[in-house]
Structures are given as structure tokens and as C-alpha cells.
């Protein structure tokens, strides 16, 4: 889907403006140059306002907003008493054989008293074109239409502010990524199907009016567990999780204050403390994975060692056969069989269909049966088992030793942390004392909440497992009565479908996560040409933690420069777009803003290659849009789609004019 034009009426700095975007396959870029304040970012805001009812990228603060409402102030001022008009933004979208016109309008005006008013809610309309006529979709839910084109939840990867993208990326990134991937993999579709199947399943179950005492008992139990589950879910969602977020937020704020408190000693200690906390976390992660590996190894080797006698005995048996020269056997079994039952004649010509010779050959057959047992393979594998067993003790001791070492490092770190906490507690500056005590309070609150959350999550799982068991028992009881067979069959379809759908959901999200990881890695490594050697890998684990593996082994995500982070986030956004399959336009405000000059050239050279087949609109400032950058992008746009903004202070109006003028 591409945006053919955006039409603005009375929207912020724009009184009446129609901006055309390039929808060409090859010259897919549109450039709009403007100073901040001229309405550059508001072009992006207009698009998001039109599609989603929100202006995501307002540069002005709350207070300034009061002076600059969404309606063009001059237009509003010039209205007569009792007169009204509309703020309107239209976006014309074209795709393969489809065309849509999305229009959002907001009524504004002046009361007869002379007071201005702006309506609370705006009106959204979506029309699609067939032939020469425009139609409204039959179920007339415009939000749904738009979500099918580009879902609201992933818009930040298509319409974004280059400068703000990094910040947006830093907070709650796991949840954001998970939500984005959810949306992209259309698991909401699967979720919906699961919801409806669940609803249907309950409905079907209610058809059964069983008088059986046992089933009624189970029913009661199931209801009880359902309530327990709801209770636990509510507790987690409405209480514990928000509290946890709030507490971590507060903790972050305090850490920040301490870091910038202007008392040198405190700043140093705080920095050291944050460092050590990071180290501590890494050590804990390391320990966990070491323990896992140890248990892996243990469980893998244990059976062979425990039942070693069997393996040894088998080895003995084979050795004996080898001694008796029966193994490997001197003659092939199949050959002898053929001889006896088909040819009935030896190669030397002797008849072996009966008699003494036949008996001899039959005896040989008895010996030759061992040729069916692959001997080489047997001794090889069995000796390997033995070898692995003998190195078991050494390997285990080594792993235990490493584990103890890591524990010791962890203890040392904990001790150092305690020392720092003590030192900071001793500082006799009132402000610091307050901050420190607040910090301690929040830290312990956070730890408590973590424990509580874990407790409830475990309980929740237990309840769910129990409910599942009860469900199965209930079905078992019911299936004993023939009259319910049919109902149960229908229910079974629901059950199996729900199970399959849940499986699919997991598999799908995993596949997509891995695709995104790969694409992010490829893009990022291609873009950071200079530092390519420094980074080894990009990982996104099952909990959506992102890791940029430095060649020395640690996670470099937090140590990237602003420019590198920008590039990384751009790569990630590109990967998400690829994975989403949504071919929506990309509108970037200040794309190269935070990027250092050395990267700016490289990025402006390479980015176009990554953005083939995508409509791209760049809203740039003159400091970004250097002659070199302009040259690098020039292959992707024509003069017809290179614009600049002109702002008329007297009329409080911006206009879009060709760049060359």
C-alpha cells in the first residue's frame, strides 16, 4: 500500500495543502526539507492523526500545545461568532488493484459568545474505490479497515521520528517487541479463533444437563478453579504488574538522580554500583546456564553409567564370539541361504539339495547368522560409551569447580555492592540521604514484588493444570453415557482445535522471532561497516531480550553510541517490516538526526538498498541533508518529489514548494 497524496485542511500550520508522494517503483523516495517549527514533523503527525486519531510526534510541549491547537490558529481566529469549520486530513492509499481514501475530520468553531471550541471526538471515514465510484465497506467499521492495512500497534515501525526512536526503543523494549511480533504474526487472528472456540466449548458443555452426582461434583470443582484462575490473573494484571512497573520506574529515576547529583563522590559510587549490579546479573545468568549444562550432561550420561554392567557384559559376549572366530562370521548368511534354498548347488558343482553336504552347510548357517549383527558398529559404539563413562568424573569435577568459582565471584560482587551501599549511606548530605533511603525502599519493594509475581504465576499454572485435569475427568465421566456422545464429539473438535492453535501460535511466533533476528543482524552488520569486526552476533531470545554480542563476549547493546543505536533500531524496524508482510509506506522524521557524520554518509548510501520496494518519505532538516547525503539519495527520487517547506509568519501558514525554487 502506498500513499498517493495527503490533503490537509486547517491542520496546524497548513491551511489548504495537498502533498503528493511518489508511488513509483524505482524512484520510491520523497524528500521534504524543513526547519523545525515549519511544520515538518506535523506532516507525519497529520498522517498518524488521520489514520489512528493520534499525533505521535508533536514536538511542542503540553504547555505550548495550549497555544497551538490542532486547528490552524489564524483560521480559528478569523471565524465569526457562531461560525464553525473543520480540521480535515485525507490520506489516499493505493495498492494492487485497490484504492482507499481515509478522511478524518474534527469540528471547530466559535460560539456565539465568542469563545473558541474544538470538538472532543473526530470523525473517521474510509472509502474504497471500485471503477469510478467510491463505496463504504459494508460493515462500516473504518478502524478495522485501517488495521487491516497497517495495524495501529506496529505503526511505530513505519512512521517514526529518527531522533526519538532510540528512546522509544530503550524502555520496556521486551514487551514492545513481543507486542509487535504478536501483531505481525497475526496471532491475534489465532487468539480470536481460540477465544471463540472456548466460548463455543462452554456453550456446548452447557447443553449437557447431567444428573450424575459425580459430574456435578466435578463441575463445581471446575467452577471453583476457574474463579481461582481469574483471581490470580487479575491480581497479576491489575495489581502486581503495574506496581512492579511503577516501582522499577521510580528506581530508575532515583538512580538517574544519583548519577547526576553533582557530588563527585556520589556520582562515582553510583556509577560503580550500577556497574556491579550489571555484573551481578550477568554472573547470575552465567551460573544459571552453567547449571543447566551440568544437568544436561549428567542426565545424558547417567543411564550408561548406571547400567554399565550390561554394556560390559555385552562387550564380553562379543569378545568371546570373536575369540571363537564366530564374529565377525567368516561367511555371509544371505549367501548361504541362497545356496541352500535357491541354487541348491555349491560353486564347485556339488549338489547340496540333500544329504551330508546339506547338513554341513546348514551348520555353517547357524554360525553365519551372526553376520546379521553389524559387529564393527557394535564394538565401536560400545567402546565409545565406555570412553565417555571414564571421562565422566573428570568432566563433572571440572564443571562443579567452574560453578563454585562463579559463585565465589558472585559473592565477591555482592560484598562490594554492600560496601558501596554502606559508603553511600554514610554520606552526610541531606539530599543524598533521602535519595539513598528512597532507593533502598524501592529496591526492596521491587524484590518483594518479583517474589510475589513468581508465586502467583506458579499458582496460576497449578490451577490451570488442575482445571485441565478436571476437564478431562469430566469428559471421561460423560462419555460413559451414550446420550452425550455426540455433544462430546463436538466438544472434542473444539478441544483439539484449541490445542493445535496454541501450538501453532507458539511455533509461529518463534519462527518470526528468528526471522526478525536474522534480518536485524544482516541489516545492522551491513550498515556499521567500520565497526563490523567488533560485533559477533545479534540475538533475540524467547523472552525478547536483545543482545548484540561483542567479540569479547558481553552484550554491547547498552554501550553503543547514539548513532550506532540509531542504526540498530533502524535495522530492527526494517526487519519487523519485512516480517510483518505489511507493505506500508515508511515515513521518517529526521532520519539521520542522531547519526554521526561518519555514519551519515554510509547510511544514506546503503539505506536506499534496504528500502527497495518500499515507499519512503523522508522529512529532513538542512543539517542532515548535506550535499553528500543528497547525492547519495539522488538515485531514488526525482525533482518532482523533492520539496521544501516555506513558513509565512504573518499568515501562520506553511506551504510545500518544490525544492529547487
Minimum CB–partner distance for residue 105 and another protein (Å): 22
Question: Rule CB under 8 A: is residue 338 a binding residue for another protein?
Answer: no
Question: Rule CB under 8 A: is residue 327 a binding residue for another protein?
Answer: yes
Question: Rule CB under 8 A: is residue 318 a binding residue for another protein?
Answer: yes
Minimum CB–partner distance for residue 399 and another protein (Å): 10
Minimum CB–partner distance for residue 73 and another protein (Å): 38
Q: Which of 101, 173, 193, 276 binds another protein (CB under 8 A)?
A: 193
Q: Which of 64, 265, 346, 381 binds another protein (CB under 8 A)?
A: 381
Determine which helix (DSSP H) or strand (DSSP E) holds 31, and give its type and residue range: strand 29-33
Cα 643 to Cα 471: distance, rounded to the nearest angstrom: 65
Q: Which of the ranges 59-67, 270-278, 299-307, 567-575 carries the binding residues for another protein, by CB under 8 A?
A: 299-307
Cross-strand pairs, 539: 547
Question: Rule CB under 8 A: is residue 364 a binding residue for another protein?
Answer: no
Q: Specify the residue, 117 or 134, whose C-beta has the smaller distance to another protein.
A: 134
Minimum CB–partner distance for residue 541 and another protein (Å): 15
Q: Specify the residue, 253 or 490, whose C-beta has the smaller distance to another protein.
A: 490
Torsion angle defined by CA atoms of residues 515, 517, 522 and 526, in that order, rounded to the nearest 10 degrees: 150
| CA angle centred on 462, ends 461 and 468, rounded to 5° | 90
Minimum CB–partner distance for residue 200 and another protein (Å): 5
534: DSSP letter: G
Q: Which of 242, 303, 425, 658 binds another protein (CB under 8 A)?
A: 303
Question: Rule CB under 8 A: is residue 396 a binding residue for another protein?
Answer: yes
Minimum CB–partner distance for residue 633 and another protein (Å): 28
Angle between helices 173-184 and 485-527 (to 10 degrees): 120
Minimum CB–partner distance for residue 193 and another protein (Å): 5
Question: Rule CB under 8 A: is residue 302 a binding residue for another protein?
Answer: yes
- Whether residue 55 contacts residue 48, with contact meaning beta carbons closer than 8 Å, is answered with yes
Question: Rule CB under 8 A: is residue 168 a binding residue for another protein?
Answer: no
Question: Rule CB under 8 A: is residue 265 a binding residue for another protein?
Answer: no
Q: Specify the residue, 411 or 503, whose C-beta has the smaller distance to another protein.
A: 503
Name residues contacting another protein, limited to 568-627 (CB under 8 A).
Answer: 580-583
Instruction: State the distance between the two ends of the chain, measured CA to CA, in whole angstroms.
Output: 30
Q: Which three cell numbers stand for residue 594?
A: 542522531
Q: Which of 25, 83, 98, 530 binds another protein (CB under 8 A)?
A: 98
Q: Which of the ranges 101-109, 280-288, 368-376, 524-532 carries the binding residues for another protein, by CB under 8 A?
A: 368-376
Is the peptide bond between 328 and the residue preceding it cis, with omega within 30 degrees of 0? yes
Residues 6+ apart with CB under 8 A from 38: 13, 645, 646, 647, 654
Q: Strand 642-648 relative to strand 29-33: parallel, antiparallel, unpaired?
A: parallel
Cα 483 to Cα 479: distance, rounded to the nearest angstrom: 9
The CA-atom distances, in angstroms, between 607 and each of 30, 219, 596, 624 are 14, 60, 15, 14
Cα 155 to Cα 388: distance, rounded to the nearest angstrom: 54
Q: Which residues of 356-388 are buried (b: 16+ CB within 10 A; e: fewer)?
A: eebeebeebbebbeebeeeeeebbeeeeebeee
Contacts with another protein, 42-81, as mask; x by CB under 8 A? ----------------------------------------
Helical spans, DSSP H, in 260-328: 264-306, 308-323
Q: Which of 504, 539, 549, 611 binds another protein (CB under 8 A)?
A: 504
Three-class secondary structure of residue 10 per DSSP:
strand
Strand order in the sheet with 616-620: 159-161, 586-589, 616-620, 29-33, 642-648, 653-658
Q: Which of the ranges 56-64, 192-200, 206-214, 342-350 carries the binding residues for another protein, by CB under 8 A?
A: 192-200
Question: Rule CB under 8 A: is residue 294 a binding residue for another protein?
Answer: yes
Minimum CB–partner distance for residue 576 and another protein (Å): 12
Q: Which of the ranges 34-42, 315-323, 525-533, 553-561 carries the binding residues for another protein, by CB under 8 A?
A: 315-323
Q: Strand 2-11 relative to strand 84-94: parallel, antiparallel, unpaired?
A: antiparallel
Q: Which of 322, 346, 393, 562 binds another protein (CB under 8 A)?
A: 393
Cα 493 to Cα 470: distance, rounded to the nearest angstrom: 18
Minimum CB–partner distance for residue 274 and another protein (Å): 31
User: How many helices and strands, by DSSP H and E, does the chain display?
Assistant: 20, 15
Q: Which of 18, 196, 234, 357 binds another protein (CB under 8 A)?
A: 196
Q: Specify the residue, 307 or 562, whose C-beta has the smaller distance to another protein.
A: 307
Minimum CB–partner distance for residue 445 and another protein (Å): 25
Q: Which of 5, 68, 86, 373 binds another protein (CB under 8 A)?
A: 373
Q: Which of the ranges 59-67, 180-188, 230-238, 473-481 carries the binding residues for another protein, by CB under 8 A?
A: 180-188
Cα 210 to Cα 227: distance, rounded to the nearest angstrom: 22
Could you tell me how many residues of this chain bind another protein (CB under 8 A)? 81
The CA-atom distances, in angstroms, between 488 and each of 197, 222, 381, 473, 496 are 14, 17, 50, 13, 12
Helical spans, DSSP H, in 154-263: 162-170, 173-184, 187-206, 213-234, 241-259
Minimum CB–partner distance for residue 465 and another protein (Å): 7
Let me know if 355 is exposed, middle or buried by CB neighbors in 10 A (0-12, 13-18, 19+).
Answer: exposed
* Cβ atoms < 10 Å from Cβ of 322: 13
Q: Which of the ranges 390-398, 549-557, 593-601, 624-632 carries the binding residues for another protein, by CB under 8 A?
A: 390-398
Cα 633 to Cα 592: distance, rounded to the nearest angstrom: 12
Q: Which of 287, 301, 433, 526 binds another protein (CB under 8 A)?
A: 301
Question: Rule CB under 8 A: is residue 118 a binding residue for another protein?
Answer: no
Q: Which of 94, 173, 197, 417 binds another protein (CB under 8 A)?
A: 197
Contacts with another protein, 119-158, as mask; x by CB under 8 A? ------------------x-x-x--xx-xxx---------
Q: Which three cell numbers stand for residue 67?
A: 497555544
Amino acid at each position: 500500500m502506498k500513499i498517493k497524496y495527503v490533503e490537509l485542511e486547517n491542520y496546524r500550520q497548513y491551511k489548504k495543502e495537498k502533498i503528493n508522494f511518489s508511488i513509483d517503483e524505482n524512484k520510491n523516495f520523497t524528500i521534504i526539507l524543513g526547519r523545525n517549527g515549519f511544520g515538518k514533523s506535523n506532516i507525519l503527525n497529520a498522517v498518524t492523526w488521520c489514520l489512528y486519531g493520534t499525533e505521535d510526534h508533536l514536538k511542542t510541549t503540553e504547555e505550548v500545545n495550549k497555544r497551538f491547537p490542532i486547528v490552524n490558529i489564524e483560521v480559528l481566529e478569523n471565524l465569526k461568532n457562531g461560525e464553525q469549520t473543520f480540521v480535515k486530513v485525507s490520506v489516499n492509499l493505493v495498492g494492487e488493484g485497490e484504492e482507499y481514501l481515509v478522511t478524518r475530520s474534527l469540528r471547530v468553531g466559535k460560539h456565539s459568545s465568542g469563545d473558541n471550541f474544538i470538538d472532543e471526538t473526530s470523525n473517521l471515514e474510509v472509502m474504497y474505490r471500485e471503477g469510478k465510484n467510491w463505496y463504504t465497506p459494508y460493515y462500516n467499521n473504518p478502524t478495522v479497515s485501517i488495521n487491516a492495512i497497517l495495524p495501529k500497534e506496529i505503526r511505530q515501525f513505519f512512521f517514526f521520528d529518527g531522533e526519538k526512536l532510540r528512546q522509544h526503543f530503550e524502555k520496556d523494549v521486551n514487551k514492545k517487541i513481543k507486542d509487535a511480533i504478536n501483531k505481525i504474526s497475526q496471532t491475534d487472528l489465532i487468539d480470536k479463533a481460540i477465544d471463540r472456540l472456548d466460548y463455543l466449548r462452554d456453550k456446548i458443555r452447557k447443553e449437557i444437563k447431567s444428573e450424575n452426582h459425580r459430574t456435578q461434583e466435578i463441575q463445581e470443582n471446575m467452577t471453583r478453579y476457574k474463579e481461582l484462575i481469574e483471581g490470580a490473573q487479575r491480581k497479576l494484571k491489575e495489581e502486581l504488574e503495574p506496581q512492579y512497573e511503577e516501582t522499577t520506574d521510580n528506581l530508575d529515576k532515583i538512580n538517574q538522580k544519583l548519577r547526576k547529583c553533582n557530588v563527585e563522590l556520589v556520582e562515582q559510587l553510583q556509577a560503580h554500583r550500577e556497574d556491579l549490579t550489571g555484573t551481578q546479573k550477568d554472573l547470575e545468568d552465567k551460573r544459571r546456564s552453567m547449571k543447566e549444562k551440568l544437568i544436561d550432561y549428567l542426565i545424558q550420561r547417567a543411564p550408561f553409567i548406571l547400567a554399565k554392567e550390561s554394556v560390559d557384559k555385552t562387550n564380553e559376549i562379543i569378545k568371546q564370539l570373536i575369540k571363537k572366530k564366530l564374529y565377525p562370521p567368516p561367511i555371509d548368511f544371505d549367501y548361504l541361504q541362497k545356496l541352500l534354498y535357491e541354487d541348491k548347488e555349491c560353486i564347485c558343482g556339488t549338489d547340496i539339495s540333500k544329504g551330508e553336504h546339506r547338513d554341513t552347510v546348514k551348520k555353517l548357517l547357524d554360525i553365519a547368522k551372526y553376520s546379521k549383527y553389524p559387529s564393527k558398529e557394535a564394538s565401536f559404539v560400545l567402546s565409545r560409551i565406555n570412553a565417555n563413562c571414564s571421562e565422566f568424573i573428570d568432566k563433572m569435577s571440572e564443571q562443579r569447580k567452574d560453578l563454585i568459582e562463579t559463585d565465589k565471584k558472585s559473592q565477591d560482587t555482592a560484598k562490594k555492592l554492600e560496601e558501596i551501599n554502606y559508603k553511600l549511606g554514610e554520606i552526610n548530605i541531606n539530599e543524598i540521604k533521602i535519595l539513598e533511603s528512597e532507593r533502598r525502599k524501592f529496591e526492596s519493594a521491587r524484590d518483594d514484588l518479583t517474589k510475589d509475581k513468581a508465586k502467583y504465576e506458579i499458582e496460576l499454572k497449578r490451577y490451570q493444570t488442575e482445571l485441565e485435569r478436571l476437564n478431562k475427568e469430566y469428559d471421561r465421566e460423560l462419555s460413559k453415557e451414550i446420550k452425550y456422545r455426540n455433544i462430546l464429539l463436538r466438544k472434542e473438535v473444539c478441544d483439539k482445535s484449541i490445542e493445535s492453535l496454541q501450538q501453532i501460535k507458539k511455533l509461529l511466533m518463534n519462527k518470526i522471532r528468528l526471522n526478525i533476528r536474522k534480518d536485524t543482524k544482516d541489516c545492522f552488520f551491513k550498515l556499521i561497516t567500520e565497526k563490523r569486526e567488533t560485533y559477533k552476533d545479534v540475538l533475540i531470545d524467547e523472552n525478547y531480550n536483545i543482545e548484540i554480542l561483542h567479540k569479547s563476549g558481553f552484550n554491547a547493546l547498552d554501550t553503543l553510541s547514539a548513532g550506532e543505536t540509531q542504526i540498530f533500531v533502524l535495522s530492527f524496524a526494517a526487519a519487523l517490516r519485512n516480517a510483518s508482510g505489511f507493505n506500508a509506506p515508511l515515513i521518517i522524521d529526521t532520519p539521520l538526526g542522531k547519526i554521526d557524520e561518519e555514519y551519515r554518509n554510509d547510511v544514506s548510501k546503503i539505506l536506499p538498498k534496504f528500502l527497495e520496494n518500499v515507499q519512503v518519505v523522508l522529512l529532513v532538516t538542512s543539517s542532515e541533508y548535506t550535499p553528500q547525503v543528497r547525492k547519495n539519495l539522488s538515485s531514488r527520487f526525482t525533482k518532482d518529489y523533492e520539496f521544501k517547506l516555506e513558513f509565512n509568519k504573518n499568515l501562520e501558514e506553511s506551504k510545500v514548494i518544490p525544492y529547487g525554487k
